[in-house]
C-alpha cells in the first residue's frame, strides 16, 4: 500500500471517529468535560441559601457552604445562576456540625479530634424529574487535639465544604 493511500485511509478513520465522538457528546444531553450531563433545555440553576439547623451553629458556615455550592455549578456548567426556580434547583439545610474526639490513647486522651458537617439536600431537575433526589451528605476532617480549634476551623470548614459540594454536584449532574 503506498503512503498516500495509507494517509487518506487514516484521515477517513480519524474523521469517522471525530464525528462519532461529536454525536456521542450531543446525542443525549449537554455534556461538559467535567462529565456533567444536563438536559439541553436546561438554561438556569438556582441554589437556595442553606440555613444552619445544627445544634451547634457556626455563624459563617451557611454563607460559606451556599456560596461554594453556587460556585461549583457556575464553574463547571454553562447554566445561568438565578435567584429562584431554576431549571435545576437545589435547596436544603445544614443539619449537623460537631467536633468529636477520635484516636483515643492509652491515657484516655484523644490524639485527634474530628469536625463533621452534614447537609440535607433536595435537588429538582425540571426536565428529568426521575433524577430528583433528597439526600444527606456528610464529610469530616481530623485535626490534632492539641491544636487551637479557632486557628484550624476555617481550613477545616473549607476542606469539608469542598468535599460536600463535589459530592452534591456529582449526584445532581454526573449521576453517580
For residue 131, what are the CA distances in angstroms to 42, 68, 137, 140, 170?
13, 22, 17, 27, 12
Q: Which residues contact 120 (CB under 8 A, 6 or more apart)?
A: 92, 93, 95, 134, 135, 136
**Strand-strand pairing, 110-125 and 88-104:** antiparallel
The span from the CA of 69 to the CA of 172, in Å, is 12
Sign, CA dihedral 49-54-55-60, equals negative
Query: Per-residue pLDDT averaged across 46-61, rounded?
Result: 96
Confidence of residue 11 (pLDDT cuts 50, 70, 90): very low
Average pLDDT of the residues of the chain: 84
Flag the least confident range among 16-20, 62-66, 129-133.
16-20
- The mean pLDDT value for 144-151 works out to 91
Which pLDDT belongs to residue 30? 41
Question: Residue 97 to residues 52, 104, 112, 113: CA-CA distances in angstroms?
Answer: 9, 21, 17, 13
| pLDDT given for residue 55 in this prediction | 95
Ramachandran angles phi, psi of 160, nearest 5°: -65, -40
Q: 17-31, 33-47, 137-151: which has the highest mean pLDDT?
A: 137-151
Is the pLDDT at 59 greater than 90, yes or no? yes
Distance (Å, whole) CA 160 – CA 82: 25
Pick the more confident residue, 16 or 65.
65
Q: Does domain 41-174 have CATH number 3.30.160.150?
A: yes
- Over residues 70-94, the pLDDT tens digits come to 999 999 999 999 999 999 999 999 9
* pTM, entire model: 0.78
What pLDDT, on a 0 to 100 scale, did the predictor assign at position 37? Answer: 80
What pLDDT, on a 0 to 100 scale, did the predictor assign at position 111? 83
Q: What is the mean pLDDT of residues 117-121?
A: 98
The whole-number pLDDT of residue 106 equals 64
* End-to-end Cα distance, the chain: 47
Residue written as grid cell 477517513 = 12
The answer to whether 68 and 74 are in contact (CB under 8 A) is: no
User: Considering only 32-36, 62-66, 76-80, 120-124, which range has the smallest mean pLDDT?
Assistant: 32-36
What cell was used for 165?
Answer: 459540594
Confidence grade of residue 119 (pLDDT, cut at 50, 70, 90): very high
Amino acid at each position: 500500500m503506498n503512503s498516500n493511500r495509507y494517509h487518506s485511509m487514516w484521515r477517513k478513520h480519524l474523521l469517522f471517529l471525530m464525528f462519532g465522538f461529536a454525536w456521542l457528546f450531543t446525542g443525549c444531553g449537554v455534556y461538559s468535560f467535567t462529565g456533567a450531563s444536563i438536559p439541553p433545555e436546561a438554561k438556569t440553576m438556582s441554589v437556595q441559601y442553606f440555613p444552619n439547623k445544627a445544634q451547634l451553629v457556626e455563624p459563617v458556615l451557611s454563607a460559606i457552604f451556599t456560596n461554594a455550592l453556587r460556585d461549583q455549578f457556575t464553574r463547571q456548567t454553562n447554566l445561568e445562576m438565578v435567584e429562584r426556580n431554576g431549571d435545576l434547583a437545589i435547596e436544603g439545610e445544614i443539619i449537623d456540625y460537631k467536633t468529636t474526639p477520635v484516636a483515643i490513647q492509652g491515657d484516655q486522651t484523644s490524639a485527634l479530634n474530628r469536625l463533621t458537617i452534614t447537609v440535607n439536600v433536595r435537588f429538582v431537575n425540571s426536565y428529568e424529574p426521575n433524577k430528583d433526589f433528597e439526600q444527606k451528605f456528610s464529610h469530616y476532617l481530623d485535626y490534632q487535639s492539641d491544636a487551637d480549634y479557632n486557628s484550624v476551623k476555617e481550613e477545616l470548614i473549607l476542606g469539608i465544604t469542598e468535599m460536600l459540594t463535589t459530592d452534591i454536584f456529582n449526584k445532581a449532574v454526573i449521576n453517580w
